[in-house]
Structure 1
């Protein structure tokens, strides 16, 4: 964990250094549910619509709580910029603990309310049934998913955007393999179809969490400040929540508009919904460049502010 070299490198070089791995990482994150949808496409239009709408529902819910990443990036970046690595590590640990708690809440909430949400969209009974299975299965792993959000955000705040990109690539590769084995059931593997897609995606979250845990353990707990890192810090948690709340509200407002539009699409029928979900996944790749540069800006501004306070 080291502060970025503001004096030894041109600002443009630092921006590109941080932005391109973040760009690829976000593309890979988007592809997780896109791959699920493509691989269940062989099961028919209903399966595409179920996984597509289920993935959209997961995206709406998780994007609100993903705002915790903003708080993690900002606090970690600022403390790394000030070379206060103990507080940077403590910020990451406290933010991760908060994200796991949020993930448990989402997993429980969505288990009970997923059928109601599918009912709101007015889809066919079969789409509702399969979609509910997919959403419940994936969001059973929500604590692991939220762990990934905040662990990656903490690393990016520390100036390392390449490691999260590499971990996400490994997760995606594992997800594709597990999808093939559990959706179609070759050889001794069970043919679980849509349920298998959910298990495969959730399993990739667990793998990612394990890799992050090992790396964060070495990065954060490998220094002489490790005793001060593993400590509950009410002030830091309050700061993380304060930074994250406006982002969460912004995402909530955006996603409500998305939900209304999606309700209009579902009224056109299963085939229209399936086509829409495929098109949206492809379209979402178009704004990944902006997200990459946004990540670079957040890290640079945070570390720059910390450096000024040093």
Structure 2
């Protein structure tokens, strides 16, 4: 009996976890795919995206502190059979992610030059990196909303739905990269700028699909006031759990940026 129960529990855990593993791998591979496809353009383009991606990854870690905390908070409410609190916490998670995404986007717009000056890049590389950061970094709110919606779906057990949406985002990104890098089917050849547009655009489309699923399954409120009315209780819990869980990765990544700047 005990062995059978452990087997069933293990099977259930695997069924929930393997889509999350694939989704995380797809999310992390987007910058790699951008760099790989840009290698057909020039070394300057590859260098530019490599440097810009360091700042993007730093922003992603900051956003992850909220999404990770919201995942735990929502799951706890669901486990306590408090579905109303879970629904309102889901709405607050999207709202706070939107606010953080807007703030980070403004920082990218205002301080892109200061960040890139730290790396002493050549003129052409700096121009490519600046354009990439202005587009992908400036529209980082699409990523913030995307991962927040994914966290809501996963916390409610819709791990496969979140995985399939992320898979669709990756496919859209690859197709967009191909169209804009090589000018296929009459599309303009925008190189780095085109890759940035494809990345930001695919994330926005992915969020729209996830949000529709969230509303269809009624795991988050449909009333706009629930998204506008932020409750300190939910946000405090999310940040209390999320910030310590990502602080180690954040400091490690900062050290890598400093090392890259020195090199």
Asked if Structure 1 and Structure 2 have the same fold, meaning a TM-score greater than 0.5 normalized by the shorter chain, the answer is: yes
State the shift of 1:263 in Å: 2.3
Of 20, 23, 39, 2:21 maps to 23
In structure 1, distance between residues paired with 2:76 and 2:49: 39
Alignment correspondent of 2:61: 63
Of 191, 200, 203, 1:202 maps to 200
Structure-to-structure mapping, 1:274-293, within 5 angstroms: none
Q: Secondary structure at the match of 2:184?
A: coil
State the shift of 1:53 in Å: 1.6
Of 153, 158, 161, 2:159 maps to 161
Q: Secondary structure at the match of 2:185?
A: coil
State the shift of 1:48 in Å: 0.8
State the shift of 1:80 in Å: 1.2
Alignment correspondent of 2:45: 47
Of 116, 133, 136, 1:135 maps to 133
8 Å contact from structure 2 (residues 215, 222) kept in 1: no
8 Å contact from structure 1 (residues 181, 189) kept in 2: yes
Structure with the greater relative contact order (CA < 8 A, sep ≥ 6): 1 or 2? 1
8 Å contact from structure 1 (residues 144, 205) kept in 2: yes
Deviations, residues 215-251 of structure 1 (Å, cap 9, x unaligned): 11112368xx866965532321222222222234333
Name structure 2 gaps, 5 residues minimum: none
In structure 1, distance between residues paired with 2:80 and 2:98: 27
Deviations, residues 14-50 of structure 1 (Å, cap 9, x unaligned): 2211221111111111121111111111111111111
Deviations, residues 201-228 of structure 1 (Å, cap 9, x unaligned): 0000111111011011112368xx8669
Cα distance change of structure 1 residues 252 and 259 upon mapping to structure 2, 3 Å threshold: same
State the shift of 1:9 in Å: 7.2
In structure 2, distance between residues paired with 1:170 and 1:246: 31
Q: Secondary structure at the match of 1:42?
A: coil
In structure 1, distance between residues paired with 2:42 and 2:222: 52
The yes-or-no answer on 1:78 pairing with 2:76 is yes
Alignment correspondent of 1:289: none
8 Å contact from structure 2 (residues 136, 199) kept in 1: yes
Deviations, residues 122-141 of structure 1 (Å, cap 9, x unaligned): 22222111111011111232
8 Å contact from structure 1 (residues 183, 195) kept in 2: no
Alignment correspondent of 1:305: none
8 Å contact from structure 1 (residues 141, 205) kept in 2: no
Name structure 1 gaps, 5 residues minimum: 1-6, 268-310
Of 102, 105, 121, 1:104 maps to 102
In structure 1, distance between residues paired with 2:62 and 2:120: 24
Q: Secondary structure at the match of 1:67?
A: helix
In structure 1, distance between residues paired with 2:63 and 2:255: 17
8 Å contact from structure 2 (residues 77, 83) kept in 1: yes
In structure 1, distance between residues paired with 2:39 and 2:99: 34
Of 108, 111, 115, 1:117 maps to 115
How many correspondences in the alignment?
257
Alignment correspondent of 1:36: 34
Cα distance change of structure 1 residues 9 and 80 upon mapping to structure 2, 3 Å threshold: farther
Structure-to-structure mapping, 1:134-283, within 5 angstroms: 134-220=132-218, 231-264=229-262, 267=263
